[in-house]
Structure 1
Amino acid sequence: MLVPGGEFWMGAAEDEPDSQDSERPRHLVQMSRFLMGRYPVTQAQWKAVTGLEKEEIDLNPDPSRFKGDHRPVEQVSWFEAVEFCQRLSAQTSREYGLPSEAEWEYACRAGAETPYHFGEKITTEIVNYYDNDSKREYRGETTPVNYFGVANALGLCDMHGNVDEWCQDHWHENYKEAPTHGIAWLTSNQNTIRILRGGSWYTEPRACRSAARYNSSPDNRSYNFGFRVVCRAPGTLP
């Protein structure tokens, strides 16, 4: 899906419920346009790309705990997600990669400044996440992409819940001195911990907010870790 250029306020306001200091200071970011996968990468897509020629590391064609061609792939490390993007780039001659943290939040919000792109509150009727309210359904596993048929204003689905999504950036404790042009915030140490966004079937509502951010070692795999890809938009697109 085409994500047009623009600007947005990245991070959480001081009064946003369940927000963390790591999500501040809220800051204005200028964004260039890009393309983003409508859904997290599915297991069928993963299997197809793992059959392509290796770039740097081997990939397990079937790593997921919760099986299903239309479910998001999980138990994929950051390094493996990058290898997937490298193989896809080599096959298509287009520049695929993981989104920067700013690209992810900008795309997730789709112009909204509320905690979720659809409003202030979350419900298990439209998002797959953990809720300790016994009156609400807890699925305990991933669901097929677009299971709820809910997209944001850009047509992107599953931006909240289902699987946490890897981003390019290295982890920083807060947004002091963060880039303001949408690029990934990187340091010289390529093995430093990386960013995860969006929350998952395993996490509570606060972790599914548009501004919520978490981290993990880039070699870590978990049954709630997945990813989606971005592609730099060619200049001929409107």
Structure 2
Amino acid sequence: MSPCEFLFRRGCQPGGIGGSMSFHVKWVLRVLIVVLLPFGLSGCGGGSGDGTSATQLSFSLTYPATASVAADELDLLQATLLADGVETVLALEAEGDLVLPASAGSNRTLSLLLNRLDGRGYYEATVEGIEITEGMVTSLGAITLNTVVADAGGDHFYNTGSLVQLDAISATLSDGTPLNYSWEIIEKPAGSAAVLSATNTARTDFTSDIDGTYRLKLTMNDGGDEYFDESVIRTETLPTTYTDSTTGMHFTLVPGGCFTMGDATSIPYPNEKPEHEVCVDSFYMGTFEVTQGEWVSLMGEGNNPSKVDDVTELPPGGLYPVENVSWDDAIGYIAELTGGTGLSYRLPTEAEWEYAARSGGKEEVWSGSNWVPTTAEWEAADLDPEQWFLSGFEDEVANFAWFKGSNSHPVGELFPNGLGLYDMSGNVYEWIQDWYDSTYVTGEDYPYYTDSPRDNPQGPVDGTKKVVRSGWFKGTIENVRTTARAGYKPTWNLIGMVGFRLALPVTEVLGE
């Protein structure tokens, strides 16, 4: 096999300048480094174009639009290229060539290192054993990828009295080198007795006991240099409920915390797997689904989209959930509501919704219900769905979940969950802010959950469908589980099926 054939199979593009090999590295901070190695100036042929024997190696650094690295953080990175013992400091987003002398069987190493100038860590890619024969790269040896960035978890807002969980486990070296961790509280409110449960582990926690600011410092080392990061935790004693003085809409505090999102033990639906840890900050959730009365009072008489017009046709007058609305319709309502009240209402994220539905992340299969089916009961239901109905399993959750009905029902008729939220299992589907990813790990089109953030995940950056949760009044008992999820196009109104409830940041309630 000729060198050109070898390179073509490895990614060389024959014909003209630009035959290349690309190595894509996704760093902890989502910095994407692409190392390009164009070999020769005419197709897969070697030489420098002037008759001399040389090999051209080009490099480039690119930052995709979806990168989560803040613009001001780019100034904190310094790139260095090391080739054949020659070290060159690079300008970020620059492109250039490094011409190396060619010799048969040469054994070369190309190393690209990005150091964070703020002391948090580094990113490194090394290609060893670049074999050059007659001016052409004929084979590549081992590719080593190594990163470490101290990450204390960012800044958060919790209700005073909450257990604050800190996690640096994601900041590990990709080559398996163990890291040493050290946590300390370097600032806390006067009079606070808060202490860390552990100081030399990747994970630790403390209970916030007084309103104010807690500043945590994480120190890491890889057996050599030390790297640092800080996390600021703000806590306030928040009211457990809030009523909008303009609209009269009711909201319930969802204290922030961490939980295991997803379901790997019950109904084997792939889009609920795998279970993964998620933490959300404190926020307020609508105590009830948005009602038809609330919709009409804002959007105008005669503008009720619902399949069954509760406002004019049914008692008690406007207390049924609004439905037959698209995601776009819900966003339009929120825009009107925000304009009229001055408060930044929004839809909940998918992580917030599940955390709230499960009464603050508890192991609730149905919102508010303590009943957990046995393995035998799940297996019986999987083999024969009628087992749910024949054995009376539904009675165990009937006080909390509305399903297998002929219509929706007025909000708040069933029992609330542990946080005081109603109808989180059934009644109508609820639109969620996030784009839908068909599976937590290997979404074919939008593999967001492959590396979903632990803290306050916002969902994929784009998609074709929006998430719906809760299930609906004609669904089955499986359909209204707290982990059940689906996705629909944001323009669809799905007659009679889908409504929504609101979320509100705690800073809005505090008047900030």
Of 497, 502, 510, which residue of structure 2 is paired with 1:224? 497
Q: Report the AA paired with residue 144 of structure 1.
A: P
- Of residues 67, 71, 75, the one that matches 2:309 is 67
Give the corresponding residue for 2:296: 47
Q: CA RMSD in A?
A: 1.8
Output the amino acid matched with 2:257.
G
Where does residue 3 of structure 1 map in the other structure? 254
Secondary structure of the 1:9 match is: strand
Task: Look up the match of 1:153.
Answer: 418
1:67 maps to amino acid: D
Shift of 1:187: 2.0
Mapped partners of 1:164, 1:236: distance in 2: 27
Q: Is the 8 A contact 2:344 2:508 kept in 1?
A: no
Distance 2:508 2:347 in 1: 20
Q: Which residue of 1 aligns with 2:365?
A: 115
Q: Paired residue for 1:133?
A: none
Q: How far is 1:159 from its partner?
A: 0.3
What code does the residue aligned with 2:254 have?
V
The secondary structure found in structure 1 opposite 2:478 is helix
Shift of 1:94: 1.2
CA deviations 1:163-194 (Å, max 9, x no partner) are: 000001111121122232223213245xx201
Change (3 A) 1:91 1:171: same
1:212 aligned partner = 484
Q: CA deviation at 1:125?
A: 4.7
- Change in Cα spacing, 1:27 to 1:60, as seen in structure 2 (3 Å) is farther
Corresponding residue for residue 30 of structure 1: 279
The equivalent residue for 1:15 is 265
**Which of 325, 330, 338 in structure 2 is aligned with 1:81?**
330
Shift of 1:95: 1.0
Alignment-derived partner of residue 387 in structure 2: none
TM-score (norm 2): 0.41
Q: Report the counterpart of residue 162 of structure 1 in structure 2.
A: 427
2:452 counterpart residue number:
178
Query: TM-score, structure 1 length as denominator?
Result: 0.85
Looking at structure 2, the residues matched to 127 and 221 of structure 1 have their Cα atoms a distance apart, in angstroms, of: 23
Q: Which has the higher contact order (CA 8 A, sep 6+)?
A: 1
- Classify the secondary structure of the residue corresponding to 1:196: strand
Q: Does 1:141 align with 2:407?
A: yes
Uncovered stretches (5+) of structure 1, i.e. residues with no partner = 52-58, 131-138
Q: CA deviation at 1:15?
A: 2.1
Write the distance in 1 (CA, Å) between the matches of 2:508 and 2:403.
38
Q: 1:159 to 1:70 in 2, by over 3 A?
A: same
Give 2:218's aligned residue. Answer: none
Unpaired runs of at least 5, structure 2:
1-251, 311-317, 374-393, 442-450
Q: By percentage of residues, which structure has more strand?
A: 2
The code of the aligned residue for 1:28 comes to: E
Q: Percent identity?
A: 33
| 1:103 alignment partner, SS class | helix
- Cα distance in 2 for residues equivalent to 1:175 and 1:126: 27
For residues 60 and 217 of structure 1, what CA distance do their matches in structure 2 show?
Answer: 26
Structure exhibiting the larger radius of gyration computed from Cα positions = 2
> In the TM superposition, what is the alpha-carbon distance from 1:236 to its structure 2 partner?
7.1
Runs of 4+ in structure 1 off by over 3 angstroms are: 121-126
Partners of 1:129 and 1:147 lie apart in 2 by 13
Give the Cα–Cα distance (whole angstroms) in 2 for the partners of residues 6 and 182 of structure 1: 10
Residue 217 of structure 1 deviates from its aligned partner by: 0.8
In 2, Cα distance between equivalents of 1:224 and 1:216: 11
CA contact (8 A) 1:196 1:214 kept: yes
Deviation at 1:60, TM superposition (A): 7.2
SS in 2 for 1:8: strand
Cα offset, 1:64, TM superposition: 0.5
Distance in 1, Cα, partners of 2:298 & 2:458: 24
8 Å contact from structure 1 (residues 164, 200) kept in 2? yes
Distance (Å, rounded) in 1 between the aligned partners of 2:452 and 2:331: 23
Tell me, in whole angstroms, the C-alpha distance in 1 between the residues paired with 2:490 and 2:433.
10
Number of residues of Structure 1 aligned to a counterpart in Structure 2:
217
- Choose the corresponding residue for 2:461, options 187, 199, 207: 187
